[in-house]
Amino acid sequence: MKIAIFHELPNGGARRAINSFAAQLKKRHVVDLYVVDDKDNQEWKFYSNVFLYKFFPKSWKGKDWRIRLYKDTIELFHIYKLNAKIAGDIDKKNYDVVLVGASKFIEAPFIMRFLKTPFVFFCQDPYYRIIYDPIFTTPKSLDFFRYRYEKMNRFIRKILDRQNVGYAQVCLSPSKYIAHLFSKTYNKPVQVIYDGVDEIFFRPSRKKKDIDIFYIGSLEPVDGYNLLKETLSYMGKNIKVRELIKEKEWISDDKVLRDLYQRTKIMFCPARNEGLGLTLLESLSCGTLVIALDEAGHREIIKERENGYLIKPNPKKIAKLLEKLLSHPKEIHRLGRNGRADIEKYWIWQKRAKELEKVLITQSRPRYKNR
């Protein structure tokens, strides 16, 4: 089968998941990537061919209204036109099926309006948060004109997003939590194809556990960074914490990331409304104890006191739990071992890719299905 994959994802779990699916599918099929980005992310090893469409979005940090207006109008129109061009390029190459990922510019990408090749939409994120998630409601503290602008802009983006999703005949999501939100948001059926983990690469080691607590995320409230800081304020000063903050640094080398997992005692995952959590899976696969917020996709991975802990956002109680665990290394080891066993039983990429492959074959051109 000849497969094209398209996305406009930022660096992060969703993009890494798409790459991992591609690596498995590439073992049996031709898998080409069509990606919109401002630089080459060296993803060639996951694909048969990579076609990079460079796009340089303007940076807006909340001050210059002219840049914001440009991004919401002209820049969005440029993305629309670029998606139309990419769809034409894909259609010319006679692929059997296209796997469409999400967009950092507008959740459901415009390309679905233009593709003539059969395609499947894989929505990795719960929903287009800037217009649907209550966390991002328009602040009423804004002045009248800015408040009205935000309301109008989000209303228009919601219409565009829903229109784009309307072109998809088959939609996929990586967890039951996302599937529920997707169906509720778009009133469309969706099939669950869980993400997985490379259990051979992300594996336990005998390295010294010199990191007490490891956090991966951003400074945004939705990622729970404030909860981490509040929790640490109730703990001793000798706690060794490693923070990987998207705004400050990002690790694209999986070997470096694996090393951090293997050296960590407790992986702290306080993100809100997390669709599933690739970080959780990779940590568990390395035999690392995971403590995650008790909500959303985390509940589909973590079994309380069996392979980790699910926590409420109470900094004092979390601090007590962390201190208790750090003083009981045998318990950390037991839970880490159980987590690794769960990965080997349920969460390997090979199994997940076969499930995705079946969907792609079903949606592919008749010439492939009839082989």
| Of 37, 38, 12, 21, residue with least CA distance to 251 | 12
**pTM (2 decimals)?**
0.84
pLDDT of 142 = 63
Task: Give the pLDDT score at 278.
Answer: 87
pLDDT at 139: 57
Fold of 211-346: Rossmann fold (3.40.50)
CA distance 6 to 104: 13
> What is the pLDDT tens value at each position of the chain, 371 positions in all?
999 999 999 887 788 899 999 999 999 999 999 999 998 888 999 999 999 999 999 887 767 888 888 988 999 999 999 999 999 999 999 999 999 999 989 889 999 999 999 999 998 765 444 455 554 455 556 677 777 787 888 888 888 998 999 999 899 999 999 898 888 888 899 999 999 999 999 999 999 999 999 999 888 888 999 999 999 999 988 899 999 988 888 777 889 999 999 999 999 999 988 888 889 999 999 999 999 999 989 999 999 999 999 999 999 999 999 999 999 999 999 999 999 999 999 999 999 999 999 999 999 988 665 55
HEC states along 51-116?
EEEECCCCCCCCCCHHHHHHHHHHHHHHHHHHHHHHHHHHHHCCCCEEEEEEECCCCCCHHHHCCC
* d(C-alpha 121, C-alpha 124), whole Å: 9
In sequence order, the 6+-apart residues with CB closer than 8 A to the CB of 40 are 50, 52
Q: Which pLDDT belongs to residue 135?
A: 42
pLDDT tens per residue across span 285-299 = 999 999 999 998 999
N-terminal to C-terminal alpha carbon distance within the chain: 10
Q: In the CATH hierarchy, which fold is given to the domain comprising 2-196+349-369?
A: Rossmann fold (3.40.50)
pLDDT tens digits, one per residue of 81-96 = 999 999 999 999 999 9
Q: How do the domains of the chain map onto residue ranges?
A: 2-196+349-369, 211-346
Strand partners, 264: 211
| Secondary-structure breakdown of the chain: helix, strand, coil percentages, each rounded to the nearest 5 | 45, 20, 35
Closest CA to 324 of 349, 302, 305: 305
- Provide the pLDDT for residue 58: 84
Same fold, 2-196+349-369 and 211-346: yes
